[in-house]
Structure 1
């Protein structure tokens, strides 16, 4: 393969430095210690991974444009870092321009892995960029520190912009220094085209995540087979167990639960988990199209139920049989979810104690061809017949097992992890016909009953055995507030922030510890998700 000699270094023009610098002049900055360095962190009104992705890309493209350097967006594997491709002949000019900008704005240049020279990982000094022996650096990363108004979150190098130096192959093509999601080879004289930003990060793949178009090459102008192009909604079920109207309806119900767990006050206690679960969606899954909140004549006091992108669905508008109401049985409510008006075919069912812990794409829950994923746990349910000694989840699973055996001749034994449940509306509707008597009986159970089925677990196995779902994998955590070492678990979650989803459940929580552990959980959630979502009312001062 041929090699093009680097062009002589040309100092960037004043415009090349001052134009991108305008991104910083109107922002408040505070110096923070991050990664062993004291650097300025710029405050954003909406400090989210997607907004940081957009800003870093715009800053780098602005300086490259001002310096007269051609570039093209590359569909990399990271959903938090934009990637640009540049002809390797422009390597020194790129490094010089970005080094000067970083020097004046508190940014940082580094060589991400793989690096050819482990002893030269730092490019912080403009002098380094002007050395003559830098011809084999394959790529560089420019990042700035961005933070929220309270300076609780800091976005650094993991959200920086990568600039790859593509080498001349000698046959009219440019070769990438590493793989991407489409092709490592483009035509050297290929046309520059404009493409939607959502093709280059899964965070922007939904209609609410508005990204500008980006400059790229024709090879990258259309999405690859891994792109999820269909809408995905989220459904929550929520209850405030301290609401007087709800308590009155519960007391007047003429049906008693068969198991003490079904009547547990903790199951209906609102600790404002929903507020922070919605924040986690806004922060880490901006591709969600719409949120539906299923309630029983209730509203969280902090919720702005007129905000775009959210609809409150009352039980009275959900159940096709009004004689099923009132209900205090989540199994019953789940039999009706497919009846939500306007709900997308593919949706995620959240309990309010489930949270998205880091930026994720919809591919975690759905294959790009529309197949749903499910997440079997290592928890097995015994093969004994269902009885009143079974807990409600175990009884429902055993009843699901009987239906799966009847429909497919297969035996199931593993329950599901406490992960947001990827569901398909058409599958739930099909099950409502296939198992009409069983689901209708569950819908009529005001409290969890030993005859209930779990429509959610049933959907996973029914979809799997009918070719519409596959087993998935996710980095998850499950924390019980009743655990003796719950404080250590929460501290580790906050420090590492490496779980794609996590659940904080009140299982095993003694009443005498409820207040203390609830306060502990609230402090944790406020630290983990400090950025408010668009579905919260503005604070009144």
Structure 2
């Protein structure tokens, strides 16, 4: 696969609308100079370990270091953008602010834009090397400053969107007044002191469980410490189910149980292939969902070879740990395994369930999956569940949907008609616990089905979501996403469009219909695509 080209860097650096989501900004001017790529529209700084959050924090710390060097008081503002940050200074300090910003951008060139809060659209950023960038700064109410960054392979480019804005607050009597709206207040006490505020207050892409070295508390004013109605302060975990189908011990267990296969699709080798997607899906959380508290990987006594165990924030949960009836083990049925996820010790009430072929595609806030009051969002498919009872010609997927429909109709008098899209499933632990209690026979039958069977429920991808909805804990939502079946002839072109666009909140690379002949060619394409889309390793990799 191709990487972001020099031409793309020239076209993308400093252009908010064209900047791929996933690239970062430069080091603070006080530090040693980073490697740069001088491009047509300005300098791009090459930085290892690049993430959107690191770009955002680097821009903020670079700018506040400049203000501190000049002795300019400042405080963080709860701005309306989740990508960048905002700091406020008093209008009377404008000359000192402009002077130190001019010197800092002279030493480490970046990008600058004058923001008019009343303008219909934001001004485009201009390279600080260009005299036009400084034309209107003396009367600006808000300035946005950034240093564009890319990873060493030049796959990601993070630009002005992740910059830090300086707002000039006007003194009026005993108050400082904001030049534009923010999420909390128009005014703070002019002579008030700073307090530390959780990083969560300043971006919805951060939670109280994001590591402090990635998202430190910021000096702000007490007026910004309020809990707003649209804040999500509860923890959200992520759960994966994963299997290494190439492991001999696992293959032996599967071979011993294989006589129970009920449907040809159930025994498809593609269902059990590990293409290393899990490593990259975890990377996608590190890059684009740093608000996740804990990641749990559910396995059949397996550990991915790349995993660095013991790093806080990720834990292996084995089938033996979560299955209430261990006599049914081993199982090779994802429906059975999913029926036990809510038994993971320590799992949060709100969690996202991922198949290992699901990925975050750009920075996504928890609000995409849960409302601030904790209601889960589910994403109905445009497809429809086939009518009628289960027949022997149904696929196991359709059979499970029909089984779901029959039980829920009997219990609630409502008919479900749509399966779910292949988007991470936002689940409520309590809803799964209650569903298991309400339907103990069907739940136990699913848990005890070693391979997919026509009597299964689909616990996470449909049943628990509709059960939560019918008990007032879930509601339908929508999300930009892509579902890409790998067994398509134009796979290379589709992957390239996905890589070039980077405009989907999530995507799924599904291989349910791949044949052994397909797999080698697909793998070469996938390796290049995944390395390019997610070049920054997570802290959980060796």
TM-score norm. by structure 2 comes to: 0.88
Q: How does 1:93-112 map to 2 (within 5 A)?
A: 93-112=96-115
Contact 1:442 1:451 survives alignment (8 Å): yes
Is the counterpart of residue 406 in structure 1 residue 414 in structure 2?
A: no
Change (3 A) 1:42 1:241: closer
Shift of 1:86: 2.6
Of 22, 25, 30, which residue of structure 2 is paired with 1:22?
Answer: 30
Shift of 1:255: 4.2
Note the alpha carbon deviations across 1:490-512, whole angstroms, 9 max, x for none.
11111121111111111443443
Contact 1:96 1:129 survives alignment (8 Å): no
Hey, what does 2:336 align to over in structure 1? 332
Change (3 A) 1:254 1:67: closer
Note the alpha carbon deviations across 1:95-122, whole angstroms, 9 max, x for none.
3321221121122212246575989964
Hey, what does 1:296 align to over in structure 2? 300
Shift of 1:485: 2.4
Q: Distance in 2 between matches of 1:128 and 1:201?
A: 31
Q: Distance in 2 between matches of 1:190 and 1:240?
A: 58
Q: Which moved more, 1:211-220 or 1:506-515?
A: 506-515
Q: Distance in 2 between matches of 1:443 and 1:245?
A: 22
Is the counterpart of residue 368 in structure 1 residue 376 in structure 2?
A: no
Q: How many residues align?
A: 512
Hey, what does 2:535 align to over in structure 1? 530
Q: Distance in 2 between matches of 1:482 and 1:55?
A: 41
Q: Which moved more, 1:121-130 or 1:235-244?
A: 121-130
Note the alpha carbon deviations across 1:143-187, whole angstroms, 9 max, x for none.
11233344432322121111223345x565444333322223434
Q: Distance in 2 between matches of 1:413 and 1:216?
A: 49
Of 459, 475, 484, which residue of structure 2 is paired with 1:479?
Answer: 484
Hey, what does 1:490 align to over in structure 2? 495
Hey, what does 1:50 align to over in structure 2? 53
Q: Distance in 1 between matches of 2:225 and 2:517?
A: 60
Hey, what does 1:425 align to over in structure 2? 429
Q: Distance in 1 between matches of 2:189 and 2:112?
A: 28
Of 304, 310, 316, which residue of structure 1 is paired with 2:314?
Answer: 310
Hey, what does 1:41 align to over in structure 2? 45
Note the alpha carbon deviations across 1:346-374, whole angstroms, 9 max, x for none.
11111000111111222221222222111
Change (3 A) 1:284 1:32: farther
Change (3 A) 1:449 1:20: closer
Is the counterpart of residue 87 in structure 1 residue 90 in structure 2?
A: yes
Q: Distance in 2 between matches of 1:343 and 1:21?
A: 42
Note the alpha carbon deviations across 1:402-444, whole angstroms, 9 max, x for none.
1111121111111111111111111111111101000100111
Change (3 A) 1:255 1:78: farther
Q: Distance in 1 between matches of 2:448 and 2:538?
A: 35
Contact 1:377 1:414 survives alignment (8 Å): yes
Shift of 1:289: 1.4
Shift of 1:125: 5.2
Task: Name structure 2 gaps, 5 residues minimum.
Answer: 1-26
Partner SS, residue 200 of structure 2: helix
Q: How does 1:431-446 map to 2 (within 5 A)?
A: 431-446=435-450
Hey, what does 2:475 align to over in structure 1? 470
Change (3 A) 1:244 1:84: same
Q: Distance in 1 between matches of 2:332 and 2:447?
A: 10
Is the counterpart of residue 78 in structure 1 residue 84 in structure 2?
A: no
Hey, what does 1:453 align to over in structure 2? 457
Hey, what does 1:267 align to over in structure 2? 271
Contact 2:197 2:220 survives alignment (8 Å): yes
Partner SS, residue 377 of structure 1: coil
Of 55, 59, 64, which residue of structure 1 is paired with 2:67?
Answer: 64
Q: Distance in 2 between matches of 1:385 and 1:365?
A: 32
Contact 1:195 1:213 survives alignment (8 Å): yes
Task: Name structure 1 gaps, 5 residues minimum.
Answer: 1-18
Hey, what does 1:230 align to over in structure 2? 234
Q: Distance in 2 between matches of 1:491 and 1:197?
A: 35
Change (3 A) 1:328 1:230: same
Q: How does 1:126-165 map to 2 (within 5 A)?
A: 134=137, 136-165=139-168
Change (3 A) 1:272 1:120: closer
Change (3 A) 1:372 1:391: same
Hey, what does 1:182 align to over in structure 2? 184
- Does 1 or 2 have the higher relative contact order (CA < 8 Å, sep 6+)? 2
Contact 2:404 2:463 survives alignment (8 Å): yes
Is the counterpart of residue 239 in structure 1 residue 243 in structure 2?
A: yes
Shift of 1:40: 4.3
Shift of 1:136: 4.3
Change (3 A) 1:473 1:32: farther
Q: Which moved more, 1:472-481 or 1:70-79?
A: 70-79
Contact 2:116 2:140 survives alignment (8 Å): no
Shift of 1:197: 2.0
Q: Distance in 2 between matches of 1:399 and 1:324?
A: 21
Change (3 A) 1:516 1:130: closer
Hey, what does 1:353 align to over in structure 2? 357
